[in-house]
Structure 1
Amino acid sequence: MAAGSFAEYLAGLDEGALTGLLRARPDVRIEPVPRGFEQLAQRLSAPESLAVALRSVDRDALVVGQAVAALGSPAAVESVARLVEASESAVRVALDELCGRGLAWPEAGTVHLPERLAEHWAAEIGGGRSLAAIARSALLADLRTLAETLDIETAGVRKTELVARLVEVVSDVRAMVDVVRALPAPALDRVDQLRHGYDGYTSFGIAESADRVLAATGLAVRVNNRWEVPREVRVAAWLSQQDLLVTGRPPIAPAAVETRAALVTAQAAVRDLLSGVTALLDEASSNSIAALKKGGVGPRERSRLASRLTLPADLLALGIDLTYAAGLLGRTGTGYAPTEQYERWREEPPAQQWAELATAWFTLEHAPTSREIQGDKELPSASEAGALRRALLRAARDGLSVRAVGAEIDWFFPLHGYESAQLPDKVDAAVREAELLGVVATDVLTDCGEQLVAVLDGGPADAESGDGADGLADRVAGVLVETPCTVILQSDLTAVVSGRPTVAVARLLGAAAVSEARGAAEVWRFSPASVRAAFDAGWTAERLRTELAAVSARPLPQSLEYLIADVARQHGKVRVRGMRSCVVADETMITEILHTRSLAKLSLARVAPTVLSSPYELDDLLARLRAAGLSPVAEDATGTVIVEQRQEHRAAGPRRALARTAPRARLGAAELAKHLLADPEGEDGAPSETFERLAQLGSRLTDAELILLADALDHERDVLITYRNKTGNRTVREIQPNQLYGRWLVSWCHLRGAEREFTVANIESVAPVG
Structure 2
Amino acid sequence: MDNHSFRTWLSQRTDDQLTQLLRLRPDVAHPLPPTMAALATRLRVHASLARAAAELSALQLAVLEAASAAGAEFEAVSVTAIVEVLTPYGASPESIECALEELEDRALLIQEDASVLLTEVLSTLPPSFHVVGTQDLSWVRAALEELDPKQHSLLNALARADGIGHSKDAALDADPTRPIPRLIEAGLLERADGSHVRLTAAVAAVLRGQPPIPLTPVQPHPSEDAQRLNSTGAAQGLEFCRLVADLIAQLSQQPVALNKDGRLGARSCAGLAKTLADPSATETNIACAITVAASAGLIGTGLTSHVPDPLPSEANYLAATRGADEWLELSAAERYSALIDAWLASPWATWESNRPLETETRHSDLPRHKRLVLAGYPLHTPISTEDARIRALSIRPVLGLNLAPERISGVAEEARLLGLLVPSAQEDAATSIASQAAQNEDFEATLLEIVPAEVDQFIVQGDLTLLVPGPPTPELARELNVCAQVDTPGLASTYRFTEATVRRAFDAGRSESELHEWLAGHSMSELPQALMFLISDVARRHGALRGGAIASYLRCADPEILSALMASPQAAQARLRLIADTVAVSELPLAQVVSLAQQAGFHPAAEDSSGATIDLRPEPARLFAQPQVAKGRREAPEPEVLTRAVAAMRERDNPAPEESGADVTALLTAAVRGGRSVSVTAVNAQGAEITSQVTPVSVAGGRVDARNLATGATVRIPLSRIKNVRMN
What TM-score results when the alignment is normalised by the length of structure 1?
0.56
Q: Which runs of 5+ in 2 are unaligned?
A: 131-142, 182-190, 207-211, 305-316, 552-574, 580-584, 590-624, 655-663, 665-700, 703-728
Distance 1:185 1:512 in 2: 72
The structure-2 alpha-carbon separation of the partners of 1:551 and 1:88, relative to structure 1 and needing over 3 Å to count, comes to closer
Asked whether 1:528 is paired with 2:499, we answer yes
> Which residue pairs with 1:355 in the alignment?
337
- Residue 451 of structure 1: how far off its partner (Å): 4.9
The residue type equivalent to 1:41 in the other structure is A
- Residue 501 of structure 1: how far off its partner (Å): 1.9
Asked whether 1:54 is paired with 2:70, we answer no
The residue type equivalent to 2:412 in the other structure is D
Please give the secondary structure, in 1, of the residue aligned with 2:486: strand
> Which residue pairs with 2:717 in the alignment?
none
> Which residue pairs with 1:473 in the alignment?
444
- Residue 249 of structure 1: how far off its partner (Å): 0.8
The structure-2 alpha-carbon separation of the partners of 1:44 and 1:291, relative to structure 1 and needing over 3 Å to count, comes to farther
1:322 to 278, 292, 309: 292
> Which residue pairs with 1:553 in the alignment?
524
> Which residue pairs with 1:133 in the alignment?
none
Please give the secondary structure, in 2, of the residue aligned with 1:515: strand
Asked whether 1:261 is paired with 2:245, we answer no
Please give the secondary structure, in 1, of the residue aligned with 2:56: coil
> Which residue pairs with 1:308 in the alignment?
277
Please give the secondary structure, in 1, of the residue aligned with 2:419: helix
- Residue 256 of structure 1: how far off its partner (Å): 0.9
- Residue 35 of structure 1: how far off its partner (Å): 1.6
Asked whether 1:112 is paired with 2:112, we answer no
Written as runs of structure 1 = structure 2, the 5 A alignment for 1:88-107 is 89=93, 91-106=96-111
> Which residue pairs with 1:23 in the alignment?
23
The structure-2 alpha-carbon separation of the partners of 1:194 and 1:387, relative to structure 1 and needing over 3 Å to count, comes to closer
The residue type equivalent to 1:546 in the other structure is E
Distance 1:660 1:354 in 2: 20
The residue type equivalent to 2:367 in the other structure is G
2:168 to 211, 217, 222: 211
Asked whether 1:248 is paired with 2:225, we answer no
The residue type equivalent to 2:400 in the other structure is H
> Which residue pairs with 1:720 in the alignment?
none
Please give the secondary structure, in 1, of the residue aligned with 2:277: helix
Asked whether 1:40 is paired with 2:39, we answer yes
Please give the secondary structure, in 1, of the residue aligned with 2:204: coil
> Which residue pairs with 2:209 in the alignment?
none
Written as runs of structure 1 = structure 2, the 5 A alignment for 1:365-764 is 365=347, 370-371=351-352, 379-382=360-363, 384-394=365-375, 401=382, 403=384, 404-414=387-397, 415-418=399-402, 421-422=405-406, 425-426=409-410, 428-429=412-413, 432-433=416-417, 435=419, 444-452=429-437, 456-457=440-441, 472-571=443-542, 613=587, 668-680=637-649, 683=652
Please give the secondary structure, in 2, of the residue aligned with 1:516: strand
Asked whether 1:74 is paired with 2:73, we answer yes
> Which residue pairs with 1:749 in the alignment?
none
Distance 1:473 1:260 in 2: 17
Q: Which moved more, 1:323-332 or 1:210-219?
A: 210-219
- Structure 1 vs Structure 2 CA RMSD: 5.3
The residue type equivalent to 1:381 in the other structure is R
Distance 1:20 1:658 in 2: 36
Q: Contact between 1:270 and 1:437, CA under 8 Å: does it hold in 2?
A: no
Q: Contact between 1:367 and 1:430, CA under 8 Å: does it hold in 2?
A: no
The structure-2 alpha-carbon separation of the partners of 1:410 and 1:494, relative to structure 1 and needing over 3 Å to count, comes to same
Structure 1, residues 318-351: CA drift from partner, whole Å, max 9, x if none?
5444343334444452545554444544444444
Please give the secondary structure, in 2, of the residue aligned with 1:74: coil
The structure-2 alpha-carbon separation of the partners of 1:671 and 1:60, relative to structure 1 and needing over 3 Å to count, comes to same
- Residue 536 of structure 1: how far off its partner (Å): 3.3
Q: Contact between 1:25 and 1:53, CA under 8 Å: does it hold in 2?
A: yes
Distance 1:44 1:612 in 2: 74
The count of corresponding residues between Structure 1 and Structure 2 is 537
The structure-2 alpha-carbon separation of the partners of 1:364 and 1:684, relative to structure 1 and needing over 3 Å to count, comes to farther
- Residue 506 of structure 1: how far off its partner (Å): 2.0
The structure-2 alpha-carbon separation of the partners of 1:196 and 1:394, relative to structure 1 and needing over 3 Å to count, comes to closer
- Residue 549 of structure 1: how far off its partner (Å): 3.2
The residue type equivalent to 1:301 in the other structure is C
Please give the secondary structure, in 2, of the residue aligned with 1:506: helix
The residue type equivalent to 1:304 in the other structure is L
- Residue 193 of structure 1: how far off its partner (Å): 8.7
- Residue 382 of structure 1: how far off its partner (Å): 0.5
Please give the secondary structure, in 2, of the residue aligned with 1:486: coil
Distance 2:102 2:424 in 1: 26
Distance 1:543 1:508 in 2: 12
Q: Contact between 1:187 and 1:214, CA under 8 Å: does it hold in 2?
A: no
- Residue 406 of structure 1: how far off its partner (Å): 4.5
The structure-2 alpha-carbon separation of the partners of 1:453 and 1:123, relative to structure 1 and needing over 3 Å to count, comes to closer
The structure-2 alpha-carbon separation of the partners of 1:284 and 1:105, relative to structure 1 and needing over 3 Å to count, comes to farther
Distance 1:557 1:16 in 2: 67
Distance 2:201 2:516 in 1: 79
Please give the secondary structure, in 1, of the residue aligned with 2:467: strand
Q: Contact between 1:393 and 1:402, CA under 8 Å: does it hold in 2?
A: no
Distance 2:651 2:195 in 1: 44
Distance 2:359 2:472 in 1: 34
Q: Contact between 2:165 and 2:198, CA under 8 Å: does it hold in 1?
A: no
Q: Contact between 1:310 and 1:518, CA under 8 Å: does it hold in 2?
A: no
Q: Contact between 1:351 and 1:474, CA under 8 Å: does it hold in 2?
A: no
Q: Contact between 1:309 and 1:515, CA under 8 Å: does it hold in 2?
A: no
Please give the secondary structure, in 1, of the residue aligned with 2:400: coil
Please give the secondary structure, in 2, of the residue aligned with 1:411: helix
The residue type equivalent to 1:513 in the other structure is A
The residue type equivalent to 1:668 in the other structure is P
Distance 1:483 1:124 in 2: 55
The structure-2 alpha-carbon separation of the partners of 1:568 and 1:96, relative to structure 1 and needing over 3 Å to count, comes to same
Q: Contact between 2:470 and 2:492, CA under 8 Å: does it hold in 1?
A: yes
Asked whether 1:272 is paired with 2:272, we answer no
The structure-2 alpha-carbon separation of the partners of 1:192 and 1:562, relative to structure 1 and needing over 3 Å to count, comes to closer
Structure 1, residues 494-539: CA drift from partner, whole Å, max 9, x if none?
3333322233332222223332321243233333333333333333
Higher relative contact order (CA 8 A, sep 6+): 2
Q: Contact between 1:330 and 1:337, CA under 8 Å: does it hold in 2?
A: yes
The structure-2 alpha-carbon separation of the partners of 1:102 and 1:330, relative to structure 1 and needing over 3 Å to count, comes to farther
Q: Which moved more, 1:512-521 or 1:484-493?
A: 484-493
The residue type equivalent to 1:249 in the other structure is T
The residue type equivalent to 2:368 in the other structure is A
The residue type equivalent to 1:7 in the other structure is R
Distance 1:262 1:504 in 2: 29
- Residue 671 of structure 1: how far off its partner (Å): 3.3
Q: Contact between 1:255 and 1:400, CA under 8 Å: does it hold in 2?
A: yes
Identity %, equivalent residues: 24
Please give the secondary structure, in 1, of the residue aligned with 2:458: strand
Distance 1:658 1:494 in 2: 38
- Residue 489 of structure 1: how far off its partner (Å): 3.5
Please give the secondary structure, in 2, of the residue aligned with 1:523: strand
